Chain A
Amino acid sequence: DIQMTQSPASLSASLEEIVTITCQASQDIGNWLAWYQQKPGKSPQLLIYGATSLADGVPSRFSGSRSGTQYSLKISRLQVEDIGIYYCLQAYSAPRTFGGGTKLELK
C-alpha cells in the first residue's frame, strides 16, 4: 500500500495567516492526489484534485502544489470557516490511502 505521511497533525493559526499542510507519498503517485476538508459534524468536502485543481465552489484562497512526491495544501488567508480537519488522499492505486489528517484550529 502507498503510505501518505501528513504533517503537521495539528496546527493553530491566526485569522488571515498563511497555512500550509503537506503530504509525503511513499512512492511516485504523479498528480493523483486530492485534499479534503472536514468541518466539525460534517462529511468531507473535496477541495483540490489532481494535486493542483480547485474543485467547484472552493474559495481561491485554497491552492495545491506538488514537488516530487511531496504535496502541499496552502490556505492563503485563514478564515474562521476554514477550521476543521484536512486530509490528503492518493488516487494513484488501490487501495486508496489517506493521510493521517491535520486538525486546524484558530489561535
Chain B
Amino acid sequence: EVQLQESGPGLVKPSQSLSLTCSVTGYSITSNYWGWIRKFPGNKMEWMGYISYSGSTSYNPSLKSRISITRDTSKNQFFLQLNSVTTEDTATYYCARYGSSSLLYYFDYWGQGVMVTVSS
C-alpha cells in the first residue's frame, strides 16, 4: 500500500527556512509526480509545487523564488524547503502523490499532514 509521511519541525521562526520531508513507502518516487499542498487556518488550500519521476520541478508562482522541492531516491524521500518564512506561512503541510493513468493529474494518496507554525 502506498503511504506518505511528512516530518519536520512544528515551529519555525520568521525569516528562517521551513524544511519538511515526505517519506514514501510502498511505491517508488521514480514513478509518478509528487506534490506539496498546504492548508491555512480558515481552510484555504494552496498547491505549492511538484517534483516529477525524473526530478523536474514546477512551483506555484505565488511562492516566487522562496520554494525548492528536491528528492533523495535512495531513501525514497522528497523534500520541501520554503525560505524567508513569515507568519502567513503558518499552515498544515501535506505531501501527496499524483495518480497514474486516468488519475494522472489528480492527487490520489496524501500524507497525514504536519502543522507548522511560524512564530518568534
* Chain A residues engaging chain B, CB cutoff 8 angstroms: 32, 34, 36, 42-46, 49-50, 53, 55, 85, 87, 89, 91, 94-98, 100-101, 103
Contacts and interface: CB of A to CB of B under 8 A. Distances in A.
Contacts of A97: 47
B65 interface: no
8 contacts: A43-B113, A49-B102, A49-B106, A91-B106, A95-B62, A97-B47, A98-B47, A101-B44
Q: How large is the interface on B (under 10, 10 to 19, 20 to 34, 35 or more residues)?
A: 20 to 34
Interface in B90-111: 94, 102-103, 105-108, 110-111
A95 B61 contact: yes
Nearest to A43: B110
Contact of B107 (A44, A85, A95): A44
A1 to B, nearest CB: 8
B56 interface: no
A20 B29 CA distance: 37
Contact of B60 (A43, A53, A85, A95): A95
Contacts of A95: 47, 60-62
A94 B107 contact: no
Task: Decide if the interface of chain B is mainly helix, strand, loop or mixed.
Answer: mixed
Contacts, number: 51
B94 A43 contact: yes
Contacts of B2: none
A87 B45 contact: yes
A49 B103 contact: yes
Given A32-B105, A89-B107, 16 more contacts: A43-B112, A44-B94, A44-B107, A46-B106, A46-B107, A50-B102, A55-B108, A94-B58, A95-B47, A95-B60, A96-B47, A97-B47, A98-B44, A98-B46, A101-B44, A103-B43
A97 B46 CA distance: 7
Give 10 closest A-B pairs by Cβ, nearest first.
A43-B110, A91-B105, A96-B47, A98-B45, A95-B60, A101-B43, A49-B106, A34-B106, A43-B112, A95-B47
